[in-house]
Copies of this chain bind each other. A is one copy, B any other.
């Protein structure tokens, strides 16, 4: 598997000199953006592509080839696979579509590929995928150019995606939110390497702290559960199962030729194996960000803290929906906080310090309330817009959070550019994951609590 992500040499079969062609864009990725290994374009027509000598066949390449990327019409792929096997290529990514997902003829072609795999031991990702983006080694087989599909720098989250578009969308979000990515893999039809293999590999990958797994169906459900059970003990896995419904499942079948399976079974499999289930693309990213940035809480008692009653009401609704109880603050904590404020200020949980709190008082109240032993985790709902809060409130909040390294914080203030600027500061500097609204913050916290409970349950079993 290592040859997929850190090859010393790559052959691009179906390389092209014509900008816009998949084989051109992929070659360019390897030539222009810092890939350190050898690059061998293979094509029958051209002599040079982007300054590199072009080879007529992978067999003509004078050195060993660790990874071959195939972007040629489906019907040519079985023969090329035979050549790759003879060349003793270790790993192949087949970008081309036109296989099992298109019907009987395509399925026959895919069978021929599988036969080569079984005979030779060569490993294959795809077909019908965009392959890999590795932010560290710069293996990048995504044919959409970086000007249109932005590549994140190195970060803690890896993505395994059956759908290229969904996976690539999540990848771009990781860049937009400045989170970064470790490894991205779009694996398409999974004729050989499947989601379980990839999960196993990323489970041992040191640069991957959290895994997002987007699947349309199970290649081998039993194996996935078995692998996931091991991996989730080491690091969090967020699962986004699409094709949940009858309609969605039928569509998935003609997309990546999978059997989507009954959703209750998927749900049970995820629960049993510790995969945290997300129901939307946004949720998958929201969960992964919280899991990458914050510790797991020891318990599930939440403090809702801020200067807005309205967002506290929303957070309370979602806490109840998700079974997250509000922490009961001790009398001493409440009295300590009461001393800071005028007598009519109501000190309770949720704590709404109202729109005329200062940064300093907000910080003190936060410190005193989080230090209450009954509080396990915090939903921060600070509306930064109020005139008496200064920008320093970000550091004040951040420093309080650092004094409680075993209590996770999530942020969910609602606002515009100024709010987003301060929220991003909070996230970048103090790793408090920031969300656009309280609903999403609470759900992200739920993911931390869910994992905490899961791990305790597993420990109890051992």
Contacts and interface: CB of A to CB of B under 8 A. Distances in A.
Interface of A: 19-22, 25, 97-98, 101-103, 105-106, 143-145, 147-150, 161-170, 172-173, 175-176, 214, 216, 242-248, 250-252, 254-256, 280-282, 308-314, 316-317, 319-321, 326, 344, 346, 348, 350, 352, 354-356, 383-388, 413-419, 436-440
A383 B248 contact: no
List of 6 A-B pairs having minimum Cβ-Cβ separation, nearest first: A163-B310, A169-B414, A172-B416, A255-B309, A165-B308, A248-B317
Given A243-B317, A246-B320, A250-B316, 14 more contacts: A22-B387, A97-B355, A101-B309, A145-B387, A147-B418, A170-B414, A243-B316, A248-B314, A251-B309, A251-B313, A251-B350, A255-B309, A282-B437, A282-B439
Contacts of A312: 251, 255
Contact of A247 (B98, B105, B149, B326): B326
A166 B310 contact: yes
B102 A346 contact: yes
Given A98-B344, A169-B437, A172-B416, A162 B310 contact: yes
Contacts of A244: 317
Given A173-B416, A387-B25, A387-B145, A106 B344 contact: yes
Contacts of A169: 311, 383, 413-415, 419, 437
A32 to B, nearest CB: 15
Contact of A387 (B143, B282, B415, B437): B143
A166 B280 contact: no
A312 B163 CA distance: 10
A162 B301 CA distance: 28
A263 B308 CA distance: 22
Contacts of A413: 169
A439 B281 contact: yes
Contacts of A314: 166, 242, 248, 280-281
22 contacts: A22-B356, A144-B386, A150-B417, A162-B310, A165-B309, A165-B310, A165-B383, A165-B414, A166-B414, A169-B419, A173-B416, A214-B310, A243-B313, A243-B317, A245-B320, A246-B320, A247-B319, A250-B316, A254-B346, A255-B352, A281-B314, A282-B437
Output the residue of A105, A162, A256, A438 with the most chain B CB within 10 A. Answer: A438
A175 B418 CA distance: 12
B346 A419 contact: no
B144 A387 contact: yes
A276 to B, nearest CB: 18
B436 A282 contact: yes
Contacts of A354: 97
A165 B352 CA distance: 12
A168 B383 CA distance: 10
Contacts of A309: 101, 163, 165, 251-252, 254-256
B163 A311 contact: yes
Contacts of A166: 308, 310-311, 314, 414
A51 to B, nearest CB: 20
Contacts of A145: 385, 387
A144 B162 CA distance: 46
Nearest to A170: B414
A173 B356 CA distance: 23
A354 B355 CA distance: 51
